[in-house]
Amino acid sequence: MGRFTSEETKDVRAEWWEAEEHAILRKFNYGDRQRISAASTIVKRTEGGSQVEVDMAALNLKMLELGIASWTLRDDGGKLVKLTRTAIERLTREDGEYLLDQITAFNERRTKEDQDNFRGAAGAGAEGERGAEGAGGRGAV
């Protein structure tokens, strides 16, 4: 497993879509995850300092924007709809939730077992022996 993400994609199609309609999803990289976090984090000042909240609507929209590489969705007249933020915002609730669920599943973080296997495969170097925490890592990726 490499240290840099590939352009891994996945073709999905909801059972209620027309036969020619599908979406190509892409894996998130570290920068994508940071953009999602920045777009959905709200910091509010309080008397005791600050409070962080997550704007779920902004988070979901940014995940859809970054997670859909392309699509062949059509409008009611059969015309291909260009993939834009506005088009994403205009999706039906059912289509939006389907795509978001597919993106979330496709981009699940690696399990601890996957990470341990990766470190083990990397050899018995200093980081392999110390594990993620000892090597300055943050655990799950």
Q: Provide the percentage of residues in the chain whose pLDDT is more than 70.
A: 74
The fraction of the chain above a pLDDT of 90, given in percent, is: 53
CA distance 16 to 46: 47
Sequence ranges of the domains in the chain: 9-107, 109-141
What is the average pLDDT across 9-13?
96
Residue 104: pLDDT band by 50, 70, 90 thresholds? very high
Rounded CA-CA distance 72/126 in Å is 48
Look at the block and give the residue holding tokens 């260009």.
82
Phi-psi region for residue 136, left (φ > 0), alpha (ψ -120 to 50) or beta? left
